[in-house]
């Protein structure tokens, strides 16, 4: 109930009227049944735009800690729970494996789950190596993966300093069928499936592909030199 209320009275009108997005290929999303929408990740706006422009209800897994905030953060926690989003533990190991259970349940109940295989936003607009969580979910829940390509979803400064997107785009590809690998738990198969998903996303976006993880590439960026103290004399 609250999901539809927020979507049709707030997020969809704002996206359509203010951002004026274009959308291609929504017909490629199965009308029923569990499915994963896997996309590139350019900005926080991706998680708002996609649910607003497609018909089916979506669930985006969010960091588990966001569901247990206090103070002003409690508003975010309430909102995530109110619109039916699910927590996902990213701490690694057994906790992360167990933390996927709520996501599996959404898929097993015939829902749509959105996921960004890169794991984090691209810092330079390029497409980075996907993490195998998307394959584990698709094979474990036995559902297809629909690739999604976002473009121009970065927020820019708009009137009165309000952040806006300028004509963002969403291109949705054909479903990828991995049913031949549903019985597999082989890490090599997970990698093959993930690479196939990333190749399909790249075909939609035309982004340059970088075969390393985004956070690894970000960590190698040079640290900005500290600014000189005004009036300081050279030694």
CB 103 within 8 A of CB 88: yes
Q: How many residues does the chain have?
A: 235
Where does the pLDDT of residue 153 fall: very low under 50, low under 70, confident under 90, or very high at 90 and above?
very high
Indicate whether 24 belongs to any domain.
yes
Give dist(CA 27, CA 30) in Å, integer.
7
Query: Tokens standing for 130?
Result: 């996907």
Indicate whether 46 belongs to any domain.
yes
pLDDT for res 225: 57
Indicate whether 76 belongs to any domain.
no
pLDDT per position as a tens digit, 3-13: 888 899 988 99
Indicate whether 11 belongs to any domain.
yes
3-state secondary structure at position 8 = helix
Instruction: Inform me whether the pLDDT recorded for 229 exceeds 80.
Output: no
**Above pLDDT 90, what percent of the chain?**
59
Which H helix or E strand runs over 24?
strand 22-24
Can you tell me the mean pLDDT for 149-158?
A: 94
Q: What range defines the domain where residue 178 resides?
A: 2-61+87-154+163-219
Q: What angle do CA 77, 42, 72 make, to 5 degrees?
A: 20
Query: Tokens standing for 212?
Result: 């390393």
Based on its alpha-carbon atoms, the radius of gyration of the chain, rounded to whole angstroms, reads: 19
The dihedral region occupied by 32, where left means phi > 0, alpha psi between -120 and 50, and beta the remainder, is beta
Its pTM stands at 0.86
Report the number of distinct structural domains present in the chain: 1
Indicate whether 72 belongs to any domain.
no
3-state secondary structure at position 97 = helix
213 Cβ contact partners less than 8 Å away, ≥ 6 residues apart: 118, 119, 128, 129, 131
pLDDT per position as a tens digit, 84-110: 777 776 544 444 556 678 889 999 999
Can you tell me the mean pLDDT for 139-156?
A: 96
Indicate whether 82 belongs to any domain.
no
pLDDT for res 69: 80
Q: Supply the mean pLDDT for the chain.
A: 87
| Cα 56 to Cα 29, 44, 51, 233, distances in angstroms | 9, 20, 8, 63
Indicate whether 139 belongs to any domain.
yes
First to last CA, the chain: 67
Indicate whether 80 belongs to any domain.
no
């Amino acid at each position: 109930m609250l999901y539809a209320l927020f979507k049709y009275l707030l997020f969809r009108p704002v996206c359509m009227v203010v951002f004026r997005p274009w959308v291609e290929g929504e017909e490629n999303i199965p009308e029923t049944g569990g499915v994963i929408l896997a996309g590139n990740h350019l900005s926080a706006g991706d998680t708002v735009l996609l649910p607003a422009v497609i018909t089916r209800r979506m669930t985006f897994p969010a960091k588990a800690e966001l569901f247990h905030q206090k103070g002003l953060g409690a508003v975010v926690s309430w909102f995530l729970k109110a619109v039916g989003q699910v927590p996902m533990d990213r701490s690694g190991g057994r906790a992360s494996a167990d933390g996927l259970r709520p996501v599996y349940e959404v898929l097993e109940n015939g829902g749509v789950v959105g996921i960004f295989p890169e794991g984090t936003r691209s810092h330079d607009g390029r497409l980075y190596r996907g993490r195998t969580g998307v394959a584990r979910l698709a094979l474990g829940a036995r559902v297809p993966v629909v690739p999604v390509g976002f473009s121009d979803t970065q927020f820019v400064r708009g009137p009165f300093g309000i952040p806006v997107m300028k004509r963002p785009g969403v291109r949705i590809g054909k479903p990828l069928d991995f049913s031949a690998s549903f019985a597999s738990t082989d890490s090599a198969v997970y990698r093959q499936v993930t690479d196939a998903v990333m190749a399909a996303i790249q075909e939609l976006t035309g982004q340059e592909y970088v075969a390393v993880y985004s956070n690894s590439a970000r960590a190698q960026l040079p640290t900005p030199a500290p600014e000189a103290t005004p009036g300081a004399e050279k030694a």
